[in-house]
């Protein structure tokens, strides 16, 4: 795996944890790790674990996750988070102005745990009544979901 691919794994984990409202400091640590990894000139796969652990913002737990990613393409914590409903909602982030922060607010305010929950809010009118998203964005989100997620 390339450094950018490994950094993307940490960003994905941070996004999923943020959507779930998890500990801010852990989320920040994963985002910082991703930034550090992206900024490396040497490939992680060529660095000894001890050297990786000495990088800014990279401790033992993150070093272990990097080793696992290099070996298998992912790490257990991310695999676990990918099995949550938040993983189905994450692709909306970045779509037509939907930020992680807005998506997290929608998850909290509309009691969403999955993409299916969001689709149910279309049927019961809760999404249309939601005031923190303008009508143009609501229409765009609905159309996107209907086209891409049936």
Task: Check whether residue 24 and residue 93 sit in a common domain.
Answer: no
Contacts of residue 25, Cβ cutoff 8 Å, sequence gap at least 6: none
Where a domain ends, among 52, 82, 112?
82
Centre a 10 Å sphere on the Cβ of residue 12 and count the other Cβ atoms it contains: 18
Task: Check whether residue 90 and residue 78 sit in a common domain.
Answer: no
Where a domain ends, among 82, 104, 128?
82
Rg, the chain, Cα only = 18
Residue 6 has pLDDT above 70, yes or no: yes
pLDDT at 17: 97
pLDDT tens for 11-40 read 999 999 999 999 999 999 999 999 999 999
Q: Where in 24-95 does DSSP place strands (E)? A: none
pLDDT tens for 84-95 read 999 999 988 888
Residue 81 has pLDDT above 90, yes or no: yes
pLDDT grade, residue 96 (50/70/90)?
A: confident
Rounded to whole angstroms, how far apart are CA atoms 112 and 126?
A: 11
pLDDT grade, residue 83 (50/70/90)?
A: very high
pLDDT at 150: 65
pLDDT grade, residue 97 (50/70/90)?
A: confident
Contacts of residue 98, Cβ cutoff 8 Å, sequence gap at least 6: 92, 137, 141
Structural domain of residue 107, as residue ranges? 86-149
What is the separation, in whole angstroms, between the first and last Cα of the chain? 33
Section 50-72 average pLDDT = 96
Centre a 10 Å sphere on the Cβ of residue 16 and count the other Cβ atoms it contains: 23
Tell me if 1 sits within 8 A of 38, measured CB to CB: no
């Amino acid at each position: 795996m390339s450094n950018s691919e490994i950094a993307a794994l940490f960003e994905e984990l941070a996004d999923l944890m943020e959507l779930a409202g998890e500990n801010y400091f852990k989320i920040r640590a994963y985002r910082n790790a991703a930034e550090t990894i992206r900024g490396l000139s040497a490939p992680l796969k060529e660095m000894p674990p001890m050297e990786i652990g000495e990088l800014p913002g990279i401790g033992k737990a993150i070093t272990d996750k990097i080793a696992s990613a290099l070996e298998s393409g992912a790490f257990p914590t991310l695999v676990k988070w990918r099995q949550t409903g938040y993983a189905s909602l994450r692709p909306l982030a970045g779509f037509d102005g939907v930020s992680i922060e807005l998506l997290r607010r929608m998850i909290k305010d509309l009691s969403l745990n999955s993409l299916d929950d969001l689709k149910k809010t279309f049927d019961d009118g809760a999404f249309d009544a939601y005031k923190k998203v303008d009508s143009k964005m609501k229409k765009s989100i609905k159309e996107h979901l209907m086209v891409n997620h049936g």
